[in-house]
């Protein structure tokens, strides 16, 4: 019995010291300073339907001054003499051309904590790029160099996302959304070649004016963002769909359009905008979403070799001038959710609205 007791004590001592060593070996110290590291951060999405391409290149920093040490120092955010080149490769892999990007500050920078020097971007103008059908079959590689004679210290490559088409509402004749149907207002589109992720928005256009003062009318719009949709293939062809339900969309309108007593409003149409993004862009967006678990640190993803960020491709599609069915128009004017907004329609004898 005594032997068993001794063995149990020895076992307990062993477990205790094992836990102690494990505890002491865990270093939870938050490191806020570190030796400076030169890590380029790239953000770019090539658009085959634009003759001008933009790429943003910055640099990550930590340094001995901590996370706020370089916020007002442009050298901590930008490269002074960076050479940025874009290469186009034909579908057989042969290099077709190499073009240098130039720095620009054409796009304003939002106000904030960091340097107010400006929003430094790199742009490349390729005349008649959108007229060249071969551009859609090329792949593109971005090179970051310290000078024109040096090898690239970072790079990224992407295929181009080809154009895609909308199926519903189509471009033939007058198209109308029906929010009173069982499926709601449907949006269907064909998948694009080399695209994986799709996202867009719907603009609701309307006019408002004081009662009896048509000359004082003003035009307005509100934007409804569609959810992200992941495509099933990179080969294009098959179609995806999304829909707007009566309950959700009319509730949205009732919340974002303010009630204005003494004013009357008139519906002026919908405009649909869709964007298709490449496979790497889909992965980057997916892993960058906020975590819904106790694990707060998302996985790190980049397609920039020796750097961070994303270099991808995207293409957009617009479908303007979409109307409303008669039943959906009546719901907009007289429905319980949007009645206080005082939308109206003209009849043969009078203007009808919800009073």
Predicted confidence (pLDDT) at residue 311 exceeds the cutoff of 90: yes
Task: Give the pLDDT mean for 58-67.
Answer: 61
- The answer to whether the peptide bond before residue 28 is cis (omega within 30 degrees of 0) is no
Instruction: Output the pLDDT for position 276.
Output: 96
Domain boundaries, the chain: 39-159, 166-276+315-353
Range of weakest confidence among 15-19, 119-123, 199-203, 310-314: 15-19
For 143-173, give one letter per residue: b (16+ CB within 10 A) or e: bbbeeeeeebebbbbbbbbbebebeebeeee
Q: CATH homologous superfamily for 39-159? A: Immunoglobulins (2.60.40.10)
Instruction: Output the pLDDT for position 281.
Output: 95
Task: Give the pLDDT mean for 14-20.
Answer: 41
Predicted confidence (pLDDT) at residue 299 exceeds the cutoff of 70: yes
Overall pTM surpassing 0.85 (yes/no): no
Predicted confidence (pLDDT) at residue 298 exceeds the cutoff of 50: yes
Q: pLDDT by residue (tens digit) across 214-273?
A: 788 899 999 999 998 999 999 988 989 999 999 999 999 999 999 999 999 999 999 999
CATH 2.60.40 given to domain 166-276+315-353: yes
Task: Give the pLDDT mean for 77-88.
Answer: 90
| Residue 244 buriedness (CB in 10 A; 0-12 / 13-18 / 19+) | buried
Name the pLDDT band for 62 (thresholds 50, 70, 90). low
């Amino acid at each position: 019995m005594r032997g068993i007791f001794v063995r149990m004590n020895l076992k307990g001592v062993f477990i205790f010291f094992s836990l102690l060593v494990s505890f002491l070996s865990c270093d939870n110290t938050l490191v806020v300073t570190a030796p400076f590291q030169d890590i380029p951060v790239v953000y770019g999405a090539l658009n085959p339907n634009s003759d001008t391409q933009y790429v943003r290149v910055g640099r990550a920093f930590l340094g001995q001054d901590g996370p706020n040490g370089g916020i007002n120092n442009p050298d901590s955010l930008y490269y002074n003499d960076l050479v940025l080149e874009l290469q186009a490769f034909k579908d057989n892999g042969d290099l077709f051309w190499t073009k240098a990007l130039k720095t620009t500050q054409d796009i304003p920078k939002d106000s904030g904590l960091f340097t107010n020097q400006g929003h430094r971007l790199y742009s490349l103008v390729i005349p008649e790029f959108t007229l060249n059908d071969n551009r859609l079959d090329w792949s593109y590689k971005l090179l970051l160099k310290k000078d024109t004679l040096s090898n690239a210290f970072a790079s990224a490559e992407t295929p181009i996302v080809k154009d895609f088409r909308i199926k519903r509402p189509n471009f033939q004749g007058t198209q109308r959304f029906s929010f009173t149907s069982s499926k709601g207002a449907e949006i269907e589109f064909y998948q694009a070649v080399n695209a994986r992720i799709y996202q867009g928005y719907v603009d609701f256009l309307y006019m408002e004016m004081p009662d009896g003062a048509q000359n004082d009318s003003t035009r307005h719009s509100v934007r409804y963002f569609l959810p992200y949709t992941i495509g099933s293939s990179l080969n294009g062809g098959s179609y995806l769909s999304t829909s707007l339900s009566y309950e959700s969309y009319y509730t949205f309108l009732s919340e974002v359009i303010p009630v204005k007593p003494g004013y009357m409003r008139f519906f002026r149409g919908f405009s649909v905008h869709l964007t298709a993004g490449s496979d790497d862009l889909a992965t980057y967006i997916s892993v960058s979403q906020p975590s819904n678990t106790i694990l707060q640190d998302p996985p790190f993803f980049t397609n920039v070799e020796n750097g961070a960020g994303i270099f991808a491709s995207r293409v957009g599609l617009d479908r303007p001038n979409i109307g409303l069915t008669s039943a959906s128009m009546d719901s907009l004017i007289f429905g319980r959710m949007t009645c206080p907004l005082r939308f109206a329609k003209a009849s043969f004898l009078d203007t009808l609205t919800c009073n």
